[in-house]
Amino acid sequence: MLDASMPRFSRKIGQPALNLSLCACVCAGVALVPSAAEANPYLDGIRQLSLAGSGRASSSGVDAILVNPSALTTSQQFSIAPVYQYSVARNGHALGAFILDSLNNPRFGLGLAYTFFRAEQSIGYATTAGAPMRVDTLSLGHEAYGVVSARLFNGFWHLAVKPKWQYSVLQYRDDAGQVQNFKDKMNTFGLDLSTTISILRWARVSVSTENLVGFDPPAWSSEQVGLPGIEHLEGVPLDFSKIPRLSGAPRTLTHSVAVFPLGDPRLSINFDGLYDFTSYWDTDDNDNGKADKHTRLVYGGSVEFVAGPVPIRVGGSWDERGPTAEDDRAYVGAGTGFVQSAGEGGVGWELGLGFSQQVSGTRQLDTIIGAQFGLRLRPQL
């Protein structure tokens, strides 16, 4: 049931989306971008966003917590950071707060995080007279998790576990004004595992699995018709193009390779691959008595160059979604920032700005922009 404190939303031509810029301002000024990305809770991290989804093996700090927890112990830092992202096509806002420590004990890294997502989307249809109409939906997501990473064999091998709690819901109002769930609510515990191997100072290789337990099926399938509680939509063709087809919390396996031509992370060339076993993996038998099990594939490459305190990031990726090529998509990303390292007993800070742009695909081209501001602390030990 939708909380009474949440704003009401209409099943007809909708209300303007609630602007969360004020919340972003509270988060240490992260509203440097306009006032809300694809996974629960829809927060990629600014570096990952700028590299178009690649760069897991060379990640560190907050980015490591999000996409490759085992990389947390590849560098030593103590940081507190809020993160904000906005998805234009989905009118989606994502906020996160992170604290991490791989400084006090170089053999272990610890992290705590909470993220929140809110988006307003619509399901389109046409009246018998051909007039366009829509049913507005509200999507909410929460995630809280911890990370424990261990540095083994003199830094050659890094291993991490990431237990988490996940909640997401997608709702609309029916003819009686009652809240209906468009899909089953997700309220579960999940688990991610990852490992990274450092090859001297020239390269890293990482493998991760996300939502080994606690994965969530996609919001809809091509066979879905009608909306419970809205009688005039029975048998009416519905347009779900603005509702994400992908699972919000898919079971995935990723691999990543990072090469450091200069012998350190100042320059990294990254190649990543992701395998999604949930978004198009149907466990029910079809008309032929077999389940449609298709693995979604995502491949990407990127380059990051850190010029003094300024990182410069560019990347591209190809998302091969369903069994046919009609929903394949390509993305490009770019970003920059500024890092002021903390001296002994002092405080430093970091700023990150980035965007990702869909450049091919038959549906609405999605633009995601984000900002991150964090504090780096180095206490005297």
Tell me the two tokens of residue 125.
Answer: 């249809």
**E strands, the chain, in order:** 78-87, 92-101, 108-126, 132-152, 157-173, 179-181, 186-199, 203-213, 252-259, 267-276, 281-285, 291-293, 296-307, 310-320, 329-340, 347-360, 367-377
Structure tokens at 305: 């160059």
Residue 363's pLDDT is what? 63
Token pair for residue 315? Answer: 């990347």
Q: How many CA within 13 A on the CB side of residue 203?
A: 8
User: Model-level pTM?
Assistant: 0.83
Residue 223: the pLDDT is 62
pLDDT at 121: 86
Residue 193 is encoded by which pair of tokens? 């595992």
> Residue 1 has what pLDDT?
35
Per-residue pLDDT of the chain (381 residues; tens, 9 = 90+): 333 333 334 444 333 333 333 333 333 333 333 333 343 456 888 999 999 999 999 999 989 999 999 999 999 889 898 888 888 777 889 899 999 999 988 899 999 999 999 999 888 888 777 788 888 999 999 999 999 999 999 889 999 999 999 999 999 998 888 899 888 899 999 999 999 999 989 999 999 999 999 888 887 766 666 788 888 887 788 888 788 788 888 999 999 999 999 999 999 999 999 999 998 887 554 555 455 788 999 999 999 999 999 999 999 999 998 888 888 999 999 999 999 988 888 888 999 999 999 998 766 678 889 888 888 887 776
64 in Cβ contact with 72 (< 8 Å):
yes
pLDDT at 240: 83
* Per-residue pLDDT, 36: 30
Cα 249 from Cα 205, distance rounded (Å): 24
Domains of the chain: which residue ranges?
21-377
Domain 21-377 maps to which CATH number in 2.40.160.60, 3.40.50.300, 3.30.930.10, 1.10.1740.10? 2.40.160.60
pLDDT score of 65: 94
Q: What is the 3-state secondary structure (H, E, C) of 279-310?
A: CCEEEEECCCCCEEECCEEEEEEEEEEEECCE
- C-beta separation of 79 from 363 below 8 A: no
Residue 195 structure tokens: 């490992």
End-to-end CA gap in the chain? 49
Report the relative pairing of strands 92-101 and 108-126 from DSSP bridges.
antiparallel
- Say what the pLDDT of residue 8 is: 37
- Cis preceding-peptide flag for 41 (omega within 30 of 0): yes
Cα separation of 258 and 256, whole Å? 7
Dist. CA 68–CA 207, nearest whole Å: 8
